[in-house]
């Protein structure tokens, strides 16, 4: 049968053969991702930010497949492996790329806070995942270090996709390993190309972040990224000792990629209203959990009841309606009507201008004492506690600390872009905390916090 073509607004046509469609794409557990937004509540700031984990997963699959097929054209990559062996490696990579985010709960990182990771690790051990790592000579680090949505994704793979993957001659345990950044075949002493495939999905230059950076930039309309995706995709190379790297062909675009990645982080995810929108949604989930005396998201709710963003928004609506005199009802009305408070500063320039203190020390003090300071400032300003918020961005994978780990291959060696001297002393921007207060008291709140900071030093 001819391949199925899906039109993606970022990458154009994405092709999948019928076996992948039947055994992965059209499985209900994968279709659930159509209803889990990639950027949670950021659509309240950027109206176009309605893209979901579904299309992101398709984009990661498309990029992973393209990178691997490009590598297969390089003589160094294919000369010690048969076409059939490379086909098997590619098939596992394709399945893992599609399924790498299948464990994202409603509202993604906001929802996964409620998931019991210890329980997930026990259930994965019962399903044999840890034994599979043990047999490959890998200790408990992959499972121990994984976050909630990765662990839940592995459990969903083993419970909902096991038969389908085996029908594709793909080992479900190796798909889980790829999700966690490993290849069981490689760890067992298999061909080095297995390890490269895992790096395509999980490394400083993985296609996961390549897709979400370009997709978040385009779908939000932020337009802070000017980046030649095709040139970067064409620059991937690999070596049996060095693993996955970028060739010097990427030099003309890698700077744009790095700067754009920071720009998307700073002006989309870390935009002061984006931070508030997502923190407000997180607070609503906390209020719902307290009201119902149970977590709004669990592994079983995701696996068995296929809960998604729409499910929880309806639960919040009903809870607000049935409990009109609660903080939940007030916050829900604020969320639905988009009544956001003011922030004492909107960006780093205003932060430096308005805070008469060492900013790093002041930031640490604010974030480290947020609950105490929120209560004290609310009392000082004579407003309810939930009118004062001290917050930072909630999205961990945008953190820029590993930017200089990107490997560049040249002259038979592989070194990071930092080692090649491409950055000098360039210091990437870091996020700042925000203080949200009712309209009209921003200056008073800033002065009060600054006075308290100096008094406690």
Ordered by where they begin, the domains of the chain are 4-269 (1.10.3210.10)
How does the average pLDDT of the chain come out, rounded? Answer: 92
What pLDDT digit, counting tens, does each position of 297-336 carry?
999 999 999 999 999 999 999 999 999 999 999 999 999 9
DSSP three-state, residue 251: helix
pLDDT exceeds 60 at position 396: no
pLDDT of 423 strictly over 70: no
Please choose, from the candidates 152, 125, 142, the residue with its C-alpha nearest in 3D space to the C-alpha of residue 53: 152
pLDDT at 411: 78
The pTM score is: 0.94
* 389-391: strand order across its sheet: 342-343, 434-437, 389-391
pLDDT at 398 over 50: no
Looking at residue 344, what is its pLDDT? 96
| pLDDT confidence of residue 264 | 87
Total Cβ atoms within 10 A of residue 124:
22
Q: Over pLDDT 90: what percentage of the chain?
A: 79
Inter-residue contact 55 to 211 (CB < 8 Å): no
Q: Which helix or strand (DSSP H or E) is residue 198 part of?
A: helix 192-201
Q: Is the pLDDT of residue 399 over 80?
A: no
- Tens digits of residue pLDDT in 29-41: 999 999 999 999 9
pLDDT of 402 above 70: no
Instruction: Give 54-75 pLDDT, tens digit per residue.
Output: 999 999 999 999 999 999 999 9
- Return d(Cα 409, Cα 402) in angstroms, integer: 18
pLDDT at position 234 is: 95
Average pLDDT over residues 402-423: 74
pLDDT tens for 249-308 read 998 888 888 778 878 888 898 899 999 999 999 999 999 999 999 999 999 999 999 999
Residues of the chain with pLDDT > 70, as a percent, come to: 95
Question: Pairing mode, if any, of strands 413-416 and 407-410?
Answer: antiparallel
Q: What is the pLDDT of residue 36?
A: 98
pLDDT band at 410 (very low <50, low <70, confident <90, very high): confident
Q: Report H helices in 338-408.
A: 348-354, 359-368, 370-381
Please check the confidence at residue 214 and state whether its pLDDT lies above 90: yes
Contact in structure between 56 and 212 (CB atoms under 8 Å):
yes
pLDDT in tens, 430-445: 678 999 999 999 999 9
Distance, CA of 36 to CA of 384 (rounded, Å): 32
Report d(CA 370, CA 283) in Å as an integer. Answer: 14
Cα dihedral sign for 160, 166, 172, 178? negative
User: Is residue 200 within 8 Å of 67, Cβ to Cβ?
Assistant: yes
Does residue 397 surpass a pLDDT of 50? no
Whether 393 has a pLDDT exceeding 90, the answer reads no
Q: What is the pLDDT of residue 321?
A: 98
Question: In what helix (H) or strand (E) does residue 301 lie, and over which residues does it extend?
Answer: helix 299-305
Residue 335 burial by CB count (10 A; 0-12/13-18/19+): exposed, middle or buried? buried
pLDDT score for 403: 56
Predicted local confidence at residue 404, as pLDDT = 60
Burial (CB count within 10 angstroms: exposed 0-12, middle 13-18, buried 19+), residue 223: exposed
pLDDT higher than threshold 50 for residue 113:
yes
> What mean pLDDT is predicted for residues 86-100?
98
Model confidence at 407: pLDDT above 90: no
Look at residue 386 in the predicted model and tell me its pLDDT.
87
Instruction: Provide the pLDDT confidence category of residue 174 given band limits of 50, 70 and 90.
Output: very high
Mean pLDDT across 226-242 = 91
The pLDDT of residue 416 is 79
Per-residue pLDDT at 134 = 96
Instruction: Average the pLDDT over 174-199 and give the result.
Output: 97
């Amino acid at each position: 049968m001819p391949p199925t073509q899906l039109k993606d607004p970022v990458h154009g046509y994405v092709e999948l053969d019928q076996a992948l469609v039947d055994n992965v794409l059209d499985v209900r557990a994968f279709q659930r991702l159509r209803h889990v937004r990639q950027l949670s509540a950021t659509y309240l700031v950027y109206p176009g930010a309605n893209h979901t984990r579904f299309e992101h997963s398709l984009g990661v699959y498309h990029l992973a497949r393209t990178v691997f097929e490009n590598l297969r054209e390089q003589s160094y990559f294919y000369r010690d492996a048969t076409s059939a062996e490379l086909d098997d490696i590619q098939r596992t990579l394709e399945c893992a790329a599609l399924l790498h985010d299948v464990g994202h709960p409603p509202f993604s990182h906001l929802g996964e806070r409620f998931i019991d990771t210890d329980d997930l690790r026990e259930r994965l051990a019962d399903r044999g995942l840890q034994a599979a790592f043990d047999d490959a000579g890998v200790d408990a680090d992959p499972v121990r270090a994984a976050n909630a949505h990765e662990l839940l994704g592995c459990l969903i793979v083993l419970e909902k996709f096991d038969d389908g993957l085996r029908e594709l001659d793909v080992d479900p345990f190796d798909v889980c390993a790829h999700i966690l950044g490993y290849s069981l075949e490689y760890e067992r002493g298999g061909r080095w190309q297995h390890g490269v495939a895992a790096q395509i999905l999980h490394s400083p230059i993985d296609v996961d972040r390549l897709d979400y950076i370009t997709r978040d930039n385009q779908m939000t309309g932020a337009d802070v990224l000017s980046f030649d995706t095709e040139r970067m995709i064409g620059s991937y190379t690999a070596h049996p000792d060095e693993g996955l790297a970028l060739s010097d062909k990427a030099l003309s675009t890698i700077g744009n990629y790095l700067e754009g990645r920071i720009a998307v982080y700073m002006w989309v995810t870390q935009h002061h209203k984006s931070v508030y929108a997502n923190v407000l949604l997180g607070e609503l989930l906390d209020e719902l959990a307290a009201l119902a005396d149970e977590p709004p998201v669990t592994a079983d709710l995701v696996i068995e009841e296929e809960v998604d963003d729409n499910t929880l928004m309806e639960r919040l609506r009903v809870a607000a309606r049935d409990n009109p005199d609660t903080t939940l009802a007030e916050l829900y009305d604020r969320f639905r009507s988009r009544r956001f408070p003011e922030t004492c500063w909107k960006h780093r320039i205003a932060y430096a201008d308005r805070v008469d203190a060492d900013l790093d020390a002041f930031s640490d003090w604010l974030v480290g004492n947020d609950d105490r300071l929120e209560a004290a400032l609310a009392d000082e300003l004579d407003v309810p506690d939930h009118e004062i918020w001290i917050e930072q961005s909630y999205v961990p994978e945008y953190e820029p600390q590993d930017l200089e780990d990107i490997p560049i291959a040249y002259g038979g060696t592989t070194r990071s872009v930092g080692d090649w001297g491409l950055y000098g002393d360039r210091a990437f921007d870091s996020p700042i905390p925000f203080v949200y207060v009712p309209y009209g008291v921003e200056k008073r709140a800033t002065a009060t916090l600054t006075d308290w900071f100096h008094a406690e030093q």
